Amino acid sequence: MAAILKAAHEEAWSKKWGVKVAAVISNKPQASGLMWLQAHAEFSNIKTEVIDHTLFESREAFDQSLMARIDLHAPELVVLAGFMRILTPAFVAHYQGRLINIHPSLLPAFAGLNTHQRAIDAGSKFAGATVHQVSVEVDQGQILAQAVVPVLEGDTAETLAARVLTQEHLIFPSAVAAFFKPQAVPRPTK
């Protein structure tokens, strides 16, 4: 999230394409992204909100509430950054073609959790990150961007994760910007 906000600010997305980050909505009251925003006054105009998923009786009820809050901002694009919840088919369908996520592997390899350790255990020579459209099937949507890093001798899940994260911070803002750039790669169809 921070990498996207910094890129939008430094690259003047609002002047270039009329694009602004309207809000940051978290399902966790103590999310690090919310703390980061509080510490950076230059982003004080971005609305923040918490919708604690633990207060809902079902995944569907939470997703309906989240959808209602997101829709108040009428976003052209919904970006999942550090949002570690599986979304309901209704939610995914509602934002089809304008809902993206980043995953810390070279999809389709290692969808789901524990990606770095799984890559090491499989003897992979390369790992990386993937920006993708969100689909009902977890981590299976259309690939929009990928970055590759080597898996080094002696890597742990933590050291590999740190190297992948540096690439995530480059490709995620770039993929978001590509969604808005005129003459950019065609947007996925609904």
Which of 53, 103, 116, 169 is labelled catalytic? 103
Helices 2-10 and 157-180 pack at an angle, to 10 degrees, of 40
> Do 176 and 100 meet the contact criterion of CB atoms below 8 Å apart?
yes
CATH of domain 2-180: 3.40.50.170
**Mean of pLDDT over the chain:** 93
With 70 as the cut, is the pLDDT of residue 183 above it?
Answer: no
Q: Model pTM?
A: 0.91
Tokens (6 digits) for 52: 């604690």
Residue 130 half-sphere exposure, CB side, CA atoms within 13 Å?
A: 21
Residue 144, H or E segment: strand 143-150
103 is catalytic: yes
With 60 as the cut, is the pLDDT of residue 168 above it?
Answer: yes
Tokens (6 digits) for 121: 């255990």
pLDDT one-digit tens code per residue, 117-151: 999 999 999 999 999 999 999 999 999 999 999 99
- Please count the other Cβ atoms lying within 10 Å of the Cβ belonging to residue 103: 23
Tokens (6 digits) for 178: 């590509």
With 60 as the cut, is the pLDDT of residue 29 above it?
Answer: yes
Supply the pLDDT for residue 25. Answer: 96
Q: Percent of the chain having pLDDT more than 70? A: 96
